[in-house]
Amino acid sequence: MKKITIIGTGYVGLVSGAGLAEFGHEVACLDIDENKIKNLNSGKIPIYEPGLENLVRKNVQDKRLAFSSDIEKNIIESNIIFIAVGTPQDENGKADLKAVKSVVDLVANNLNNYKIICTKSTVPVGTGKWIESQIKSINPNLDFDYVSNPEFLREGAAVNDFLSPDRVIIGSRTEKAFNEMKEVYRPLYINETPILSTSIETAEMIKYASNSFLALKISYINEIANLCEEVGADVHQVAKAMGQDGRISSKFLHPGPGFGGSCFPKDIQALYALGKEKNIELNTIDATIKTNKNQKKRILNKLLRLLNNQVTGKKIAVLGLSFKPNTDDIRESPSLYIISELSKLGAVVDAYDPVAIENFKSMHQNINYSGTWKECVKDADACIVLTEWNEFRGMDLNELKSLLKTPILIDAKNIFSIEKLKLLKFNYDNVGRNFS
């Protein structure tokens, strides 16, 4: 088994660290935020991710997983160092590599013998080449290998995605590095999970290409949904039939208010920025970005239409703040745009989410927050559902109508029965299904 150091304890670093410990390795997850490390050592998980708390607790108890801010010591003692820090979008749409560059310098100054330095962070194509060059310039006599090992973790299903992935990508320049990394994932190899060997540049591109394609699928089905509304077709039936075509598959063919989260928006922007840098027109990528922005506006306009554009002073109940269910991540969530616009128009916004309220408060302190969906919708002039939490799927529509001041409902995730809503005489709209 390997002695592994992971630098960064966000979604990727924490899930990867717990997963690698579960594979039997000795793992140290590191962060410069000492308060964060203190909380982790006391059992407080900084993110909401189903199954993660139990996985962390189990491997800490089994002494395979530890948390520390002593980066230098753990770099020296490890065999493999994973870089798992954030690469947010900068003002030009490119990936901001400040954190990555800081970690690389730190690693380079503390290497003492052969090690593998591996990125889990999503980085632009060419970053690996720069990292190799930077380490050599700081520590020219050291023998090391660099590897690109991109993650494909879905928030809300990240633990399962790590323990049972569709594939593992290992981008390396040497057979030695590939074989070492293959041993890291030995439990998956035994289970016949495909472990693909590529160049470093190919591995970097696979991550961006995959996320951008999935984002494209979402934007595509949203545009089809919008057209369905105009011609009287049902987008659910359209998507179901499309998904039965093996060339297409049913995944990511679910219309809604647009994609969000920590990956798709920044990764597709970074890919577009790379295309501009290399003078390559990425027209489908550009269209995907524009469609996603327009979809959020379209959902807002549906609500305004049902309210006859009279929003000032109206109580609007917003159900769902996270960009998807089973996570507390609000980054690029459609709710951020819609609530911001409603507030500008003078609406009184009351919001509820099972787990994301505290995160949302850091962005919006000028709205009301409720402890239950019933409290949120009580005496509201309209309700809009933006996240498909199971709690919302299970709502009693009779009770919902009785609590609302007026039965105006926007179902941006298509979780309710149109027939039931018609029967109850809701003033209703959705995405891609004819209600008239």
Confidence check: pLDDT of 90 > 80:
yes
Biggest distance spanned by C-alpha atoms of the chain: 76
Angle at the Cα of 222 from the Cα atoms of 295 and 208, rounded to 5 degrees: 90
CB atoms within 10 A of CB 21: 26
Residue 61 forms part of a structural domain: yes
Residue 382 forms part of a structural domain: yes
Q: Which of helix, strand or coil describes residue 260?
A: coil
- Let me know whether 159 and 111 are in one domain: yes
Give catalytic status of residue 263 as yes or no: yes
- Let me know whether 77 and 217 are in one domain: no
Average pLDDT in the 44-63 region? 94
CATH of the domain at 254: 3.40.50.720
Residue 33 forms part of a structural domain: yes
**Percent of the chain's residues with pLDDT above 70:** 100
Residue 204 forms part of a structural domain: no
In the DSSP assignment, the letter for residue 409 is: E
Which residue, among 385, 219, 235, 211, has the nearest Cα to 292 in the 3D structure?
219
Answer with the one of 145, 167, 198 that is the final residue of a domain: 198
Tokens standing for 229? 């509304």
Helix, strand and coil content of the chain, in percent to the nearest 5, comes to 45, 15, 40
Tokens standing for 323? 């960009």
Average pLDDT in the 281-299 region? 96
- Let me know whether 355 and 398 are in one domain: yes
- Let me know whether 173 and 265 are in one domain: no
Over residues 179-208, the pLDDT tens digits come to 999 999 999 988 899 999 999 999 999 999
- Let me know whether 167 and 247 are in one domain: no
Q: Report the pLDDT value the prediction gives residue 436, as an integer from 0 to 100.
A: 65
- Let me know whether 151 and 27 are in one domain: yes
For the chain, how big is the Rg over CA atoms in Å? Answer: 24
Over residues 396-417, the pLDDT tens digits come to 999 999 999 999 999 999 999 9
DSSP alpha helix (H) spans, 86-199 = 98-108, 127-138, 158-163, 175-184, 186-190
Q: Report the pLDDT value the prediction gives residue 262, as an integer from 0 to 100.
A: 85
- Let me know whether 224 and 112 are in one domain: no
- Let me know whether 153 and 239 are in one domain: no
CA dist 399 and 392 (Å) reads 12
Over residues 238-288, the pLDDT tens digits come to 999 999 999 999 999 999 999 999 899 999 999 999 999 999 999 999 999
Q: Report the pLDDT value the prediction gives residue 129, as an integer from 0 to 100.
A: 96
Average pLDDT in the 219-244 region? 95
- The values of phi and psi at residue 7, to 5°, are -100, 115
Q: What is the DSSP string of 64-110?
A: SEEEES-HHHHHHH-SEEEE-----B-TTSSB--HHHHHHHHHHHTT
Answer with the one of 198, 228, 256 that is the final residue of a domain: 198
The residue from 29, 118, 228, 263 that is catalytic is 263
Residue 367 forms part of a structural domain: yes
- Let me know whether 110 and 257 are in one domain: no
Distance, first Cα to last Cα, the chain: 62
Residue 424 forms part of a structural domain: yes
* Mean pLDDT, the chain, whole residue set: 94
Confidence check: pLDDT of 47 > 70:
yes
Answer with the one of 198, 227, 243 that is the final residue of a domain: 198
Residue 435 forms part of a structural domain: no
Which residue, among 64, 172, 163, has the nearest Cα to 116 in the 3D structure?
172
Q: How far is CA 432 from the centre of its chain?
A: 24
* Beta-sheet pairing, 144-148 with 168-172: antiparallel
pTM beyond 0.75, yes or no:
yes
- Let me know whether 220 and 169 are in one domain: no
- Let me know whether 260 and 191 are in one domain: no
Which residues form the domain of 326?
Answer: 213-429
Confidence check: pLDDT of 435 > 90:
no
Q: Report the pLDDT value the prediction gives residue 434, as an integer from 0 to 100.
A: 78
**In total, how many domains does the chain have?**
2
- Let me know whether 358 and 228 are in one domain: yes
How far CA 263 is from CA of 7, 147, 152, 234, 259, in Å, comes to: 19, 21, 10, 29, 10
Q: Report the pLDDT value the prediction gives residue 363, as an integer from 0 to 100.
A: 87
